A and B are shown apart, each in its own frame.
Chain A
């Protein structure tokens, strides 16, 4: 059952990732990315990370993708503009980074240091749940939690500052 599930999700993830990269239309790419994120959340489920799976769908497939689509609409690129034909420095760099990340991931999988505590299946089930994360987040991580509120508010105010219509202000005479 688990093997079957994994193979299914992995194939789906690879297929959608490829389709996303190869698709010529940016909107189609974005939609394939949503499917890809769904399959990633399937991975999380099979790793017992229930909370992450939910967040992956809610935040990535939901919010982040909305942002992507908005950016695509705001930029409004012509379809023939994005067909890259010649290999340039950026692509070489991208391939290089991808290879490095891949090699490093393979290394980590191959040489697991065992620094992380060894958990049994049952314990793993308990750790990934929403309940366990809730218990940690509001006790140990209270300060970063509250600081995040300020971070989000600051992001909104900053966006308001940059997106407003007028570029100049005359101050009132004092």
Chain B
């Protein structure tokens, strides 16, 4: 039974193989000449001061939320897409209602989120 998934494993193997080989190849073949100049900022650039890690605004988190919601939608859409013909018109409407509800949620978020981003622009 695992043999049925052989193509996937072959693909995985090739991807892994290529990733490793390319990383090593670029190290071996590519020229490597470090110099102090390369570490300096570009012209008119600023010297990096302080920690590069900063607290991210909560607005970015909302984007992640939204991504998760639609990623979860895949769970439901995927089996439907596979069985689309067999399930018929009733299920089609059921899934459309499902998508409609989530789309309303998306429109709502976009409307609200744009407002939030604007506030942050004007206050900063």
Our verdict on whether A and B bind, yes or no, reads: yes
Interface residues of A (CB under 8 A from B): 1-2, 5, 45-46, 48, 51, 54-55, 58-59, 62-64, 66-67, 70, 73-74, 76, 121, 125, 130-131, 133-135, 137-139, 142, 145-146, 148-150, 152-153, 155-157, 159-160, 163-166
Contact of B68 among A46, A63, A153, A160 (CB under 8 A): A63
Given contact pairs A130-B83, A146-B101, a sample of 17 additional A-B residue pairs in the complex whose CB atoms are under 8 Å apart: A1-B2, A70-B64, A121-B1, A131-B82, A134-B79, A135-B83, A135-B87, A148-B98, A150-B101, A152-B69, A153-B102, A156-B66, A160-B108, A160-B109, A163-B58, A164-B112, A165-B116
Q: Indicate with 1 or 0, residue by residue over B90-124, a CB within 8 angstroms of chain A CB atoms.
A: 01001101100110110011001100100110000
A63 to B67, CA, bound (A): 7
Cβ of A166: which chain B residues have Cβ within 8 Å of it?
Answer: 119
Inter-chain contact A74/B80, CB cutoff 8 Å: no
Cβ of B56: which chain A residues have Cβ within 8 Å of it?
Answer: 70, 73-74, 76
Cβ of A67: which chain B residues have Cβ within 8 Å of it?
Answer: 64-65, 68
A25 to B28, CA, bound (A): 29
Asked whether B21 is an interface residue with its Cβ less than 8 Å from the other chain, the reply is no
Q: Among B66, B94, B105, B112, find the residue whose CB has the most chain A CB atoms closer than 10 A.
A: B105
Contact of B105 among A1, A58, A125, A157 (CB under 8 A): A157
Task: For the complex, count residues of B whose C-beta is within 8 A of A.
Answer: 48
Interface residues of B (CB under 8 A from A): 1-3, 5, 53-56, 58-62, 64-69, 71-76, 78-80, 82-83, 86-87, 91, 94-95, 97-98, 101-102, 104-105, 108-109, 112-113, 116, 119-120
Given A130-B82, A134-B82, A145-B94; A152-B72 close (CB under 8 Å): yes
Cβ of A74: which chain B residues have Cβ within 8 Å of it?
Answer: 55-56, 58, 60-61
Cβ of B83: which chain A residues have Cβ within 8 Å of it?
Answer: 130-131, 134-135, 138
18 A/B residue pairs, CB under 8 Å, sorted by A? A45-B5, A58-B71, A58-B75, A59-B74, A66-B64, A74-B60, A74-B61, A138-B80, A146-B94, A148-B76, A149-B98, A152-B72, A152-B73, A152-B102, A153-B101, A155-B65, A156-B108, A164-B116
State the 8 A-B residue pairs at the shortest beta-carbon distance, nearest first.
Answer: A134-B79, A63-B71, A134-B83, A153-B105, A149-B101, A70-B64, A138-B91, A63-B68
Cβ of A165: which chain B residues have Cβ within 8 Å of it?
Answer: 116, 119-120
A64 to B68, CA, bound (A): 7
Inter-chain contact A76/B59, CB cutoff 8 Å: no
Inter-chain contact B65/A138, CB cutoff 8 Å: no
